């Protein structure tokens, strides 16, 4: 798959897809979307890139091993889960910060949890996909 059209379009699609995945992540609380969908979309962007430029190029671009994103994401999700304990609330209770911010919307533990899911999904999907590609 080394056609010039595909390569050129993949180069421009990567940032667009990443942006779209972040958009999906942020709108997820009240509307369709969320961490899982956003994460899948971001992972797809990297997979598309790896199809166009080869696995090595993509790995070089990501710098960190995608597996490292999993504990980071889990850490965020965990923090979102236990943060309510500080306020004597049950586990996983949604805490919200005052007014909605521009572009981002309401900020709270639910968003933190979604960001965690986002990273875990990117990490696990890329790990699985890369290891399948390496075997084949």
Binding residues for another protein, per CB under 8 A?
30-32, 36, 67, 70-71, 74-75, 78, 81-82, 84-85, 88-94, 124, 128, 131-132, 135-136
Instruction: Give the whole-angstrom CA distance, residue 92 versus residue 133.
Output: 37
Nearer to another protein, 13 or 106 (CB): 106
Nearer to another protein, 6 or 51 (CB): 51
Nearer to another protein, 13 or 44 (CB): 44
From the CB of 27, what's the least distance to another protein, in Å? 12
Element housing 28 (H / E): none
Residue showing tokens 């521009």: 102
From the CB of 124, what's the least distance to another protein, in Å? 7
From the CB of 77, what's the least distance to another protein, in Å? 9
Sign of the dihedral through C-alpha 107, 109, 114, 115: positive
Nearer to another protein, 61 or 79 (CB): 79
Helix (H, G, I), strand (E, B) or coil at 54: coil
Contact 126, 68 (CB under 8 A): no
Encode 68-111 in three state secondary structure: HHHHHHHHHHHHHHHHHHHHCCCCCCCCEEEEEECCCEEEEHHH
From the CB of 79, what's the least distance to another protein, in Å? 10
From the CB of 57, what's the least distance to another protein, in Å? 23
Nearer to another protein, 86 or 103 (CB): 86
């Amino acid at each position: 798959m080394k056609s010039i059209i595909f390569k050129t379009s993949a180069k421009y699609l990567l940032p667009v897809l990443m942006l779209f995945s972040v958009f999906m992540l942020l709108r997820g609380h009240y509307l369709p979307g969320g961490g899982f969908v956003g994460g899948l979309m971001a992972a797809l962007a990297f997979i598309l890139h790896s199809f166009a430029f080869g696995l090595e190029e993509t790995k070089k671009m990501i710098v960190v091993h995608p597996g490292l994103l999993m504990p980071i994401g889990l850490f965020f999700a965990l923090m979102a889960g236990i943060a309510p304990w500080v306020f004597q609330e049950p586990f996983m209770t949604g805490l919200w910060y005052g007014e909605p911010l521009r572009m981002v919307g309401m900020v709270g533990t639910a968003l933190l949890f979604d960001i965690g899911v986002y990273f875990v999904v990117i990490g696990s999907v890329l790990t699985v996909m890369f290891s399948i590609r390496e075997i084949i």
